[in-house]
Homo-oligomer: A and B are copies of this chain.
Amino acid sequence: MRVASCPLCAGADAATSLVAESSLYRVVRVLDAPDFPAFYRVIWNDHVAELSDLDDEQREACMEAVVAVERVLRQLSPAKINLAALGNMVPHLHWHVIARFHWDSHFPQPIWGVRQREVVPTPMSRLAVDPETLDASVRSAVAALAR
């Protein structure tokens, strides 16, 4: 099901880049949050609002994808992975998967909280890998999933 007014039903947008997709979901990298250079989203393709709108098999497929992205991000040795499905603005099921670092602008606050520090040099330059390499790892991990 697609909803005409829903930006996540509309598909691609300039604030994200498509990294991987399946018949059930797509994985995008978030481009408009430069404070958080390892930030992906798993977006369920169908327009459902809540995780509990999925049946068991769908939910497991969704969480497998979230965890696959998480496992790739853990290779960056983050302080923590943050997972969140909020959707208050866009009630179409999507998971934020964010690698958090001790040096990042908001740590240990949530990314939606109060900035803790300025980060110089740029966050992206602090990652051990470039974003294209990270994307390739995420793409490969998602492709390896059964569904």
* In the complex, chain B residues whose CB is within 8 Å of the CB of A18: none
Of the four ranges (under 10, 10 to 19, 20 to 34, 35 or more), the interface on chain A belongs to: 20 to 34
Main secondary structure of the interface of A (DSSP, over half): mixed
Report if A87 contacts B (CB, 8 A): yes
Q: Tell me if A129 counts as interface (CB < 8 A to partner B).
A: no
A49 CA to B100 CA, complexed, in Å: 13
Q: Once the chains bind, are B108 and A110 in contact (CB under 8 Å)?
A: no
CB–CB A88/B82 < 8 A: yes
Is A30 an interface residue when CB atoms closer than 8 A count as contact? no
- Residues of A whose CB lies within 8 Å of any CB of B are 49-52, 56, 59-60, 63-64, 66-67, 70-71, 74, 79-89, 91, 100, 107-110, 112-113
